[in-house]
Amino acid sequence: MRILITGSGGFIGSRLSKVLEAENHTILKIDRHLGPTIAQHNHFENVDVIYHLAAQIDLQYSRLFPLNDAMDNIIETIRLIEQYPNIKIIYPATAASMPITSPYGLSKKTAAEYIKLLCKEYVILTLPNIWGGGHGVIDKFEKMEVIKVNGDGRQTRTIVHVDDIVKGFVKALDWPTGEYMLGSDKVYSVREIAQKVAAKTGKKIEFNLNYDPVKEGEIYASIIPNTTPDWKAEIDL
């Protein structure tokens, strides 16, 4: 298949590209940091499927610059749909839209709604918190000399390893049009995550109880189940 990936140089996009290339798919790449962008690229012919991973993902940035956030996440999505009509789009939604508490969550939700309205075929994947490859709260804790937890650590998260997430994206090639959650029935508190890292590394944990554990716009309890037909997270913490 000829597969177009936007955000091909990103955390998920770079890994997904390698996996799909190993399966002998032809990968067409768009990435704002590596070039070209969605607006600047020359139109690719005979595209079979699009993974639209390019996005502005900084929640706090979205509060400071909501117009830029909307341009990146909404307008660029519409531009892509107009450039490639009638082609299946696989799109990652975010737990930050459940509920919507920030411009980032709103822009990602809005982009998903445009895809549902304008595309005949689509797969929308709501993602949990992701760890592995130097990304996420686990990797952050592992890099600290002393594990520092803001608040009491009772915030809850569904956390899935990036390799499992990539496997889900690959399987989505064969899923029918619809919305799915790439989550898990395992939910951890930040305190439990810190304790697991401490047990593995021998590091101490400090709780900053004078700190508000939830920044403005963030979600205290982020729980994403698995609603896919044939995928399951396999890598545990």
Please give the pLDDT value at position 135.
Answer: 80
Q: What does the domain layout of the chain look like in residue ranges? A: 2-222
Nearest C-alpha neighbor of 115 from the set 98, 90, 143, 139:
90
Question: Kindly report the CA angle at 235 between 181 and 227, in degrees rounded to 5?
Answer: 15
- The CATH class of 2-222 is alpha beta
Helix, strand, coil fractions of the chain, as percent rounded to 5:
35, 25, 40
Q: Which two tokens stand for residue 3?
A: 């597969």
Cis peptide preceding 92, ω within 30 of 0: no
> How far is Cα 142 from Cα 193, in angstroms, rounded to an integer?
11
Q: How far is CA 119 from the centre of its chain?
A: 21
Please give the pLDDT value at position 74.
Answer: 98
Please give the pLDDT value at position 213.
Answer: 53
> How far is Cα 207 from Cα 152, in angstroms, rounded to an integer?
6
Q: Which amino acid is at 141?
A: F
Ranges of residues in the chain whose predicted pLDDT is under 70: 209-219
User: What is the pTM (predicted TM-score) of this model?
Assistant: 0.89
Classify burial at 3, counting beta carbons within 10 Å of its beta carbon; exposed 0-12, middle 13-18, buried 19 or more: buried
Give the 3-state secondary structure of residue 11. Answer: coil
